[in-house]
Amino acid sequence: MIVVRTVEELKSQISLWKKEGNSVGFVPTMGYLHEGHISLVERSKKQTDKTVLSLFVNPTQFNDPEDYLKYPVNIDGDLEKCKTASVDLVFLPSKEVMYPKTESTITMTQSLLQTNLCGRTRPGHFEGVMLVVSKFFHLVEPNFAFFGLKDYQQFRIIEEMVSLLNFPLQVIGVETLREPDGLAMSSRNVRLSEKERETAKLIPRMYSLAEKLLKDGEKNLSNFKEILRDFLLTGQDVKIDYLETVDPGNLQEKLALEGKILLAVAVFVGKTRLIDNRIFTLPIS
């Protein structure tokens, strides 16, 4: 496994691989890797000749400076996981490598896809995501890039960005990997206390409740969302950031329980913010 920290080292290796006719898969991460990240690597290994993984906690996508400072970091552990997963190259840049000109930057937005969900409650977040991902795409020059569908809005925004800016690559969404109790795997889960971890189980249980309501013929959207909100709020120290039903394509709010619906949620359990989503195709038989 190759580990590089500079743009020059990265581009030199990518250039060599491309000259040899290898396809390149890219898995961008902020580190503190778990099995969800490794599933992206495994997908890339199946689909491409060489897999590049980046470890970089991107400061421009944090609208809360405290959240950035508290983001878990374990470089040695991450590199060991990458080695075990047979990652071909790990790009481990510093903040100065990724943002050498701190006095000047570029802002990108997508007015439609950022209207709801995290785009509404975390102003500036996706501008930072698009900035760093576009920089990575220019540096790595991948043929395929792999993103987990737990961050469904991020996946759609990156997919649309690639289309709008004519990046010569394909964005692949990979299904969310879950803990045995159904909680979506996340680097943030490590922040939960034992009691909070138990409370977080309400999220996957909420999706089971949603499925039951829809199977039982619930037609009233407002009533549907109110029942789900009340269920989540039975947990101690739970605060709902958002619970929305949107179209999976354009992420605009659905006005009725019909067709395809993305039920997306962001919940604070204590001070830890967790997100999840599920797509339902109605009617459910």
**Is 36 marked as binding a ligand?**
yes
Residues 6+ apart with CB under 8 A from 238: 199, 202, 232, 267, 268, 269
**Is 138 marked as binding a ligand?**
no
Does 138 participate in catalysis according to the annotation?
Answer: no
**Is 148 marked as binding a ligand?**
yes
**Is 236 marked as binding a ligand?**
no
**Is 54 marked as binding a ligand?**
no
**Is 150 marked as binding a ligand?**
yes
**Is 25 marked as binding a ligand?**
no
Q: How far is CA 134 from CA 27, 88, 220, in A?
A: 13, 21, 41
**Is 177 marked as binding a ligand?**
yes
Q: Which residues of 155-164 are buried (b: 16+ CB within 10 A; e: fewer)?
A: bbbbbbbbee
Task: Name the maximum alpha-carbon separation found in the chain.
Answer: 59
**Is 71 marked as binding a ligand?**
no
**Is 61 marked as binding a ligand?**
yes
**Is 187 marked as binding a ligand?**
yes
**Is 35 marked as binding a ligand?**
yes
Catalytic residue among 37, 125, 156, 273: 37
For residue 118 the two structure tokens come to 């995290």
Handedness of CA 213, 216, 217, 218 (dihedral sign): negative
Residues 6+ apart with CB under 8 A from 227: 209, 213
**Is 37 marked as binding a ligand?**
yes
Q: How far is CA 200 from CA 7, 30, 94, 196, 235, in A?
A: 40, 22, 33, 6, 8
**Is 188 marked as binding a ligand?**
yes
Handedness of CA 161, 259, 148, 172 (dihedral sign): negative
Nearest alpha carbon to residue 274 among 228, 227, 240, 230 = 240
From the annotation, which residues make up the binding site for beta-alanine?
A: 61
From the annotation, which residues make up the binding site?
A: 30-37, 61, 148-151, 154, 177, 185-188
From the annotation, which residues make up the binding site for ATP?
A: 30-37, 148-151, 177, 185-188
Where in the sequence numbering do the catalytic residues fall?
37
From the annotation, which residues make up the binding site for (R)-pantoate?
A: 61, 154
